[in-house]
Structure 1
Amino acid sequence: MANAASGMAVHDECKLKFLELKAKRTFRYITYKIEEQQVMIDKIGGSDESYEDFTNSLPADECRYAVFDFDFTTDENCQKSKIFFIAWSPDTSKVRMKMVYASSKDRFKRELDGIQLELQATDPSEMSMDIIKSRAL
């Protein structure tokens, strides 16, 4: 389970809850944190929560990984959904924390089969709703 490069393990629940988000759409988002050399679930947002609820759930001074199920309507009036993987690494977080998250990101992302788009943000403006929409369309 541990990755030789980063020494990071991924808790099984991380994958199981992601599959629920992808298949059953029971959640809007999931945030993950690294604790004791393991990626684990931090918070789960219900299907009725908004993108604003999601961004407000991210800590201002700690890194997180997150997946967000973004629903939108295309110019052709088709309802669509895309799953974003967001690497949140605020400038105010500790350097060591940023390094651990950066070195583990690709391996963790591979565990979550079905991610369609990726976004890295160091400040809330880098993951505004306008950016999310422009990436999804």
Structure 2
Amino acid sequence: MPARAAAPPPPDTRRRGFRRAGRRAAATTGARHCAAPNRTALHRTALPPERSEIAVSSSGTTVDDSCLDALQELKSRREINTVVYRLDEPLATVVVESKSNLTHEEMLESLPANEPRFVLYDLHFAAADGARRRDLVMIFWIPDGALPAHKLAYASTHRVLRDALDGIQVDVRATTLSALAYDELASQAV
């Protein structure tokens, strides 16, 4: 029987080991893998849950306490059914723009044509079995006409705001008003 060739030596794992560990860490924490691993990015996304409740995005955007108060008011009182959030002018903090009791059509009319917004809407609808239901819907309104810098700032803030506001049953991202039609929202809530 002919002699077998010796197995090649194991590859240098010092450099590749970090890449593999980075991919595993990215898969478990939700971080995206980059061609060149970035310890800071992986570390930032792998923060413990108590740190993420501080509501600070990687871009430095924070959620104002009034946003949480408006959510509690929406949940506990019937005087309001809609809370509109926006980023303040330096795009650094999420603040409450308005709290009101609006019909669905009025809520759609209140959305600006060229500026992104976050909206919490208390949606009342009838389920397929005829039962009356009520779901808290978070709408991420990001119209096509918005400035690219605003789109980017709002997109990086969306998850932070979503995590800070508890009790949201439906999360909708919309670029046109037709995507926010009452029937569309009700079908996503079921």
- TM-score, scaled relative to structure 2: 0.67
1:55-100: CA deviations, max 9, x gaps? 1111000000111000112233322100001100000000000000
**Aligned partners of 2:131, 2:55: CA distance in 1, in Å?**
41
Higher helix share goes to which structure?
2
1:61 to 110, 114, 133: 114
1:90 to 143, 155, 175: 143
What corresponds to 2:70 in structure 1? 17
Label 1:4 to 1:50 Cα distance change in 2 as closer, same or farther (>3 A).
closer
**Count of equivalent residues:** 135
Instruction: Determine helix, strand or coil for the equivalent of 1:91.
Output: coil
Q: CA deviation at 1:4?
A: 5.0
Instruction: From the CA coordinates, give the structure whose radius of gyration is larger.
Output: 2
The one of the two structures with greater contact order (alpha-carbon pairs below 8 A, sep at least 6) is 1
1:1-137 to 2 correspondence within 5 Å?
3-35=56-88, 36=90, 37-46=92-101, 49-137=102-190
The percentage of aligned residue pairs carrying the same residue is 30
Which consecutive residues of structure 2, in runs of 5 or more, have no partner in the other structure? 1-53
- TM-score, scaled relative to structure 1: 0.92
Which consecutive residues of structure 1, in runs of 5 or more, have no partner in the other structure? none
Asked whether the equivalents of residues 57 and 156 of structure 2 are also in contact (C-alpha less than 8 Å), the reply is: no
Give the aligned residue type for 1:135.
Answer: Q
1:81-134: CA deviations, max 9, x gaps? 000011000000000000000011101111110000010011111111121111
Report the aligned-residue RMSD: 1.4
Q: Segments of 4+ in structure 1 off by > 6 A?
A: none
**Aligned partners of 1:4, 1:32: CA distance in 2, in Å?**
16
**Aligned partners of 2:87, 2:152: CA distance in 1, in Å?**
12
